[in-house]
């Protein structure tokens, strides 16, 4: 139905239409707002879920971040705020805090789409990768915390557009590159923390524009270049630390304008120049650390104006001058560290004038001198005092003992004198006392026992005397005790066993005596025990086997005796052992249970038996020293398992057999010393594979065969000693490859052929010994190239011929030269007289000729004897004497010739008889070993061989040692009145020992005693006198008489040319030619060598025979030569 409207109803109708339209419009707007909010929520939800998806999470992390829980404002780490004030205001994410939630992966770029974000904290996670540059879209961001992750790459310059940013903490990452200068645009920034990254380059000057900056933290980077002076414009700065970088240049004086600065740390850089005095204007500064730079000049006295300063560290610089006494006015100072500088002068007496709060005073290694001021007692709060490593003198002030709060007192490495006072007991809180390396003396006071908190006691290298006080056992917290290098005497206190915390005990190099206390076995924490270099005696206590933590066991150079206790098998953690230079015996097996040895040394003892094979179970063993003991058997093959072995010393034992091939596996060997054993076989070729070898010593063994050529591949070899073996063949020319060689000793072998000229290439050679071989050919002129040859050149006792080359005179450093007993001929080069360093020269017994210049007179005549055609210089024959060049008119009677010839022939016969006697003696001794069962037999030999070097009493089946002094005293030096029998090999004496035992002693004639007898016979033949001749008087025997006359004859004195010469030679042999008289003197020289007091100094039978035949042959050759003329 249509209703017609009247004019009066029209306005009402229009109003209704308007109302309906407005209502419809409102409904549409509300619908649009609802739709927009839903889209916004969905977008935010999607961004957050995308962030979660990009990150890796640990178990149980971000579980509530899920579509099933669309209320993201309730999610972990998400904070929201409403935009606007209407009821329909939308919640937006304003903070994302996921710190320490074990997140991984990289920071998703989605974070940059949270446009309303004010706080972003992803710190302390494991995030990697770069910082997204689009974080610059977060224009509302006030704090960005990404520190303590593993982020890498550069700092995005775009972060400089975050104009609302207050806090930027992105340190402790792996960030690299430069600090972006754009950070200078962060006008509201308060904190910039970029520490502990790998940032490089300079500190940007643009940072000086940050007027609101309070904290600038740049430490532990790789920043370089100078500090920009513009930093002085950061007027709000409270904390500035750029420590541990590579900054250089000077400290800008402009930093003195930072009136709000409380902390300045520029430690451990390369800053140089002076400390700016302007820093004294930083009135609120409480912490100043400039240590570890290259700062120079004096310490500014202006620093004394820093009234709030609590910590001042200027150590490890090059500061000079004296310590300003005004520093004592710093009443708030707690730490004062000036160590490691080039300061001078004394410690200021006023340094403690107002420093009542000072707890830590470190002035070590600052070149301070003078006495320690007693005024230090005014620093009543001191806990740590370190004045070590200076030049301080005088006594330790009594007043120091008033600092009752001291926990650490370091006065070591000075020149302090005097005692430690008893009042040290006042320092009851003391934990560390270091007074080592001074000149302190006196007794260690008993009051030391009152320091019950003491953990460290270092008194080594002083002059303390007296006993170690037993009260030390009351210091129950002691962990480290070092009394090394004093004069402590008496016994080691038993009370040390009470120190259950003791970890380190070092009593080496004192004068301690007595036994090692068994109570030490109670110190179960002990890792290092060093009692070496004392006078300790007795045996090693079995209780030490309880020290299962022990790593270093040092007892060397004492007088310890007995066997090692079996309990030591419990020491399985040992790394270093040194028991050398004692009198320990028995087996070392109990000591070898550790598999962690680094060094093992038991040299100079009396250990015997075989070397335990399980010592090879320590693969890291570096040094093994078993020398000078009584080990027998073979070298264990298990040593080849020690692949780290660098030093092997088995010398002076009785080891036999061949070298085990397994030693070839020890590729790091640098020193191998097997001298003086009974090792045999050939030198194995694998020695050449030990390329690190620096010393090879195989002397005095029974090696035979030729030298393996492989040995000359050891290019690092410094010492090669093979003397005293039975090696033969020629020396290969490859010896010249040993370019590093310092010592070459091939003495006393059977080498033949020429001396290789290639030895002349060994330019570093210091010692060359090739004596007592059978080398032939001429003296190599190339030896004159050995310009570093110094100790000795010994080619004696060979068959070298030809002339001495003049080039030998170029050996300007040579101290000893021995070419004796060869067949060298010609004249001695005159240049040799100018060899100023040559102290010992022996050219005797060759065929040299000519006149010796005056320069040769500085050597004795015996250096030239045995060369019949030499004259002049120190020799008795003068070159203008008729006897020097022609036959004596009287000639030599046939009877004289016969007598001299007979003497030499008889000598040879005697030597042959010696050999036969030795053989019979050896056979007799073997046969007699089983015959002495009831009667004790005591044998002694004058031979120096190892097999007969000990006195031995065999009584039944028991072997005991007796002192030679007791035997000689009981027999009145082997007087004939005690002889009870004699035979071809010696005499048997009755001996009543002090022990009331009666034994039979057999004096066995050895090779060296037969050589002595032969020397006496030679003297009788030449002189015509008997050993009991009245001419010798009461206080002189034949040997001494001949020796005295020979000294006169050699010196050419009047006595020599007169009565001494007349008396030395039997009148029945005269008249003699000069050359024949010289031959008689040479026979007497051999006789004197044969009658040396020490058997070791006498020649062997073979050597004596060679010398006599040399005299005989030379005399015959000269006589024949003269007969031609």
The answer to whether the CB of 660 falls within 8 A of the CB of 637 is yes
How long a stretch of residues is the chain? 1125
Q: Could you tell me which of 532, 482, 471 has the C-alpha nearest to residue 505?
A: 482
Cα–Cα distance for residue pair 795/772, rounded to 1 Å: 8
Tokens of 1083: 């026979």
Please state, as a whole number, how many other Cβ atoms lie within 10 Å of the Cβ of residue 829.
Answer: 16
**What is the Cα–Cα distance from 64 to 59, expressed in whole angstroms?**
13
- In which residue are the tokens 């090059």 written? 318
Buried b (16+ CB within 10 A) or exposed e, 358-391: bbbbbbbbbebbeebbebbbbbeebbbbbbbbbe
Please name the residues in contact with 1056: beta carbons below 8 A apart, sequence gap of 6 or more.
876, 1045, 1048, 1049, 1050
Q: Which of 654, 663, 672 is nearest to 607 (CA)?
A: 654
Q: Both tokens of residue 1049? A: 């004859």
Structure tokens at 20: 């309906």
d(C-alpha 317, C-alpha 341), whole Å: 5
8-state DSSP, 877: S
Q: In the structure encoding, which two tokens stand for residue 907, read together?
A: 């000598």
Report the alpha-carbon distance of residue 473 to residue 1059 in Å, rounded: 78
CA dihedral sign of residues 1061, 1065, 1071, 1077: negative
* Radius of gyration of the chain, Cα coordinates, nearest whole angstrom: 47
Strand segments (E) across 484-550: 487-490, 504-506, 511-514, 528-530, 535-538
Assign 941 to helix, strand or coil: strand
1002 is in an annotated binding site: yes
Please choose, from the candidates 590, 563, 674, 575, the residue with its C-alpha nearest in 3D space to the C-alpha of residue 627: 674
Measuring CA to CA, how many Å separate 983 from each of 1003, 1004, 1016? 10, 10, 21
Q: Within 10 A of 245 (CB to CB), how many other CB atoms are there?
A: 23
Q: What is the DSSP-derived secondary structure letter of residue 1057? A: I
- DSSP 8-state class, residue 772: S
Which residues neighbour 1027 within 8 Å (Cβ) at sequence distance 6 or greater?
1016, 1020, 1037, 1038
Torsion of CA 281, 283, 287, 289, to 10 degrees: 0
* Tokens linked to 1025: 């006198």
Query: What CA–CA distances, in Å, run from 1032 to 831, 958, 1036?
Result: 43, 47, 5
CA 715 to each of CA 238, 682, 746, 787, 788: distance values in angstroms, whole numbers, following the listed order: 64, 21, 18, 20, 18
User: Do the beta carbons of residue 259 and residue 236 sit within 8 Å?
Assistant: no
Q: Which candidate, 505, 494, 499, places its Cα nearest to that of 460?
A: 505
Contact present, 650 and 630 (Cβ < 8 Å): no
Judge if the upstream peptide bond of residue 321 is cis by omega within 30 degrees of 0.
Answer: no
DSSP output for 894-932: HHHHHHHHHHHHHHHHHHHHHHHHHHHHHHHHHHHTTT-
Binding site per annotation, positions for ATP = 1002
Binding-site residues: 1002
């Amino acid at each position: 139905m249509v209703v017609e409207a009247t004019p009066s109803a029209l306005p009402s109708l229009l109003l209704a239409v308007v109302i309906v339209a407005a209502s419809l419009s409102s409904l549409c707007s509300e619908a649009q707002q609802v739709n927009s909010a839903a889209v916004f929520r969905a977008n935010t939800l999607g961004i957050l879920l995308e962030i979660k998806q990009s990150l890796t999470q640990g178990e149980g992390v971000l579980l509530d971040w899920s579509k099933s829980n669309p209320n993201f404002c309730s999610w972990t780490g998400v904070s929201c705020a409403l935009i606007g004030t209407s009821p329909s205001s939308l919640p937006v994410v304003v903070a994302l805090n996921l710190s320490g939630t074990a997140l991984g992966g990289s920071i998703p770029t989605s974070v940059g789409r949270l446009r309303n974000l004010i706080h972003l904290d992803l710190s302390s996670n494991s995030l990697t990768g770069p910082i997204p540059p689009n974080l610059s879209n977060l224009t509302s961001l006030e704090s960005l915390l990404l520190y303590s992750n593993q982020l890498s790459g550069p700092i995005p310059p775009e972060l400089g557009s975050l104009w609302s940013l207050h806090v930027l903490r992105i340190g402790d990452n792996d960030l690299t590159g430069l600090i972006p200068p754009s950070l200078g645009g962060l006008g509201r920034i308060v904190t910039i923390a970029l520490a502990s990254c790998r940032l490089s380059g300079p500190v940007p000057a643009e940072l000086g524009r940050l007027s609101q900056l309070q904290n600038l933290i740049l430490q532990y980077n790789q920043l370089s270049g100078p500090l920009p002076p513009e930093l002085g414009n950061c007027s709000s700065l409270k904390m500035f630390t750029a420590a541990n970088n590579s900054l250089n240049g000077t400290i800008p004086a402009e930093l003195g304008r930072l009136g709000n600065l409380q902390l300045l740390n520029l430690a451990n850089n390369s800053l140089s120049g002076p400390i700016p005095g302007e820093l004294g204007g930083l009135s609120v500064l409480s912490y100043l650390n400039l240590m570890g730079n290259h700062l120079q000049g004096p310490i500014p006295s202006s620093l004394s104006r820093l009234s709030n300063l609590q910590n001042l560290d200027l150590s490890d610089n090059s500061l000079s001058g004296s310590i300003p006494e005004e520093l004592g006015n710093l009443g708030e100072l707690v730490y004062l560290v000036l160590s490691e500088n080039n300061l001078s002068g004394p410690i200021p007496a006023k340094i403690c004038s107002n420093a009542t709060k000072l707890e830590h005073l470190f002035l070590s290694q600052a070149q301070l001198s003078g006495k320690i001021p007693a005024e230090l007692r005014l620093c009543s709060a001191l806990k740590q005092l370190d004045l070590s490593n200076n030049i301080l003198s005088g006594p330790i002030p009594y007043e120091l003992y008033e600092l009752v709060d001291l926990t650490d007192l370091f006065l070591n490495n000075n020149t302090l004198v005097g005692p430690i006072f008893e009042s040290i007991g006042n320092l009851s809180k003391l934990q560390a006392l270091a007074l080592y390396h001074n000149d302190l003396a006196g007794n260690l006071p008993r009051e030391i026992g009152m320091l019950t908190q003491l953990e460290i006691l270092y008194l080594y290298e002083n002059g303390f005397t007296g006993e170690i006080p037993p009260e030390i056992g009351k210091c129950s917290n002691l962990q480290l005790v070092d009394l090394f290098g004093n004069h402590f005497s008496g016994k080691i206190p038993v009370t040390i066993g009470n120190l259950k915390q003791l970890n380190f005990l070092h009593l080496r190099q004192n004068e301690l005596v007595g036994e090692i206390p068994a109570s030490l076995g109670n110190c179960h924490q002990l890792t290092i025990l060093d009692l070496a270099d004392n006078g300790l005696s007795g045996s090693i206590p079995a209780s030490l086997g309880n020290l299962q933590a022990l790593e270093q066991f040092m007892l060397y150079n004492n007088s310890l005796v007995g066997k090692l206790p079996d309990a030591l098998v419990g020491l399985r953690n040992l790394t270093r052992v040194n028991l050398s230079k004692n009198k320990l015996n028995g087996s070392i097996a109990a000591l070898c249970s550790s598999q962690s040895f680094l060094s093992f040394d038991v040299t100079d003892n009396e250990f015997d038996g075989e070397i335990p094979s399980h010592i090879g179970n320590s693969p890291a063993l570096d040094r093994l020293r078993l020398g000078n003991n009584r080990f027998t058997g073979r070298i264990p093959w298990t040593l080849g398992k020690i692949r780290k072995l660098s030093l092997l010393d088995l010398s002076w034992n009785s080891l036999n057999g061949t070298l085990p091939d397994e030693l070839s596996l020890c590729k790091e060997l640098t020193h191998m010393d097997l001298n003086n054993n009974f090792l045999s076989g050939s030198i194995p070729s694998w020695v050449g594979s030990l390329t690190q070898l620096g010393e090879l010593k195989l002397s005095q063994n029974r090696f035979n065969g030729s030298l393996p050529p492989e040995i000359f591949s050891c290019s690092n070899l410094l010492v090669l000693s093979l003397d005293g073996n039975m090696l033969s063949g020629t020396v290969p020319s490859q010896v010249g490859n040993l370019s590093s060689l310092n010592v070459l000793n091939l003495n006393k072998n059977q080498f033949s052929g020429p001396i290789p000229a290639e030895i002349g290439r060994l330019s570093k050679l210091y010692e060359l010994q090739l004596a007592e071989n059978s080398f032939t050919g001429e003296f190599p002129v190339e030896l004159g190239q050995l310009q570093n040859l110094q100790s000795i050149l010994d080619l004696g006792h060979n068959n070298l011929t030809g002339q001495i080359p003049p080039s030998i005179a170029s050996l300007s450093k040579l101290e000893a030269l021995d070419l004796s007993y060869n067949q060298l001929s010609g004249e001695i080069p005159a240049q040799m007289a100018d060899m100023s360093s040559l102290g010992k020269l022996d050219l005797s017994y060759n065929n040299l000729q000519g006149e010796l210049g005056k320069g040769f007179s500085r050597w004795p005549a015996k250096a030239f004897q045995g060369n019949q055609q030499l004259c002049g210089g120190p020799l008795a024959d003068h070159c203008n004497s008729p006897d020097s060049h022609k036959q004596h008119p009287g000639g030599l009677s046939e009877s004289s010739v016969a007598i001299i010839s007979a003497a030499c022939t008889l000598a040879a016969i005697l030597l042959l008889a010696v050999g036969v006697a030795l053989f019979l003696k050896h056979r007799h001794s073997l046969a007699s070993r089983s015959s002495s069962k009831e009667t004790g037999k005591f044998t002694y030999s004058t031979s120096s061989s190892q097999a007969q070097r000990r006195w031995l009493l065999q009584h039944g089946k028991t072997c005991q040692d007796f002192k030679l002094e007791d035997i000689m005293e009981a027999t009145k030096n082997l007087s004939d009145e005690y002889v009870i029998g004699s035979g071809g090999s010696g005499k048997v004496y009755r001996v009543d020992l002090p022990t009331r035992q009666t034994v039979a002693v057999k004096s066995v004639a050895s090779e060296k005693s037969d050589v002595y007898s032969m020397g006496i016979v030679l003297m009788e033949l030449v002189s015509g006198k008997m050993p009991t001749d009245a001419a010798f008087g009461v206080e002189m025997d034949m040997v001494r008489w001949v020796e005295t006359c020979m000294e006169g004859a050699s010196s050419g004195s009047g006595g020599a040319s007169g009565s001494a010469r007349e008396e030395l030679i039997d009148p029945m042999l005269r008249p003699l030619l000069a050359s024949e008289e010289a031959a008689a003197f040479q026979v007497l020289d051999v006789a004197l060598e044969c009658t040396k007091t020490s058997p070791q100094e006498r020649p062997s039978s073979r050597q004596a025979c060679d010398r006599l035949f040399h005299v005989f042959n030379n005399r015959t050759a000269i006589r024949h030569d003269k007969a031609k003329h």
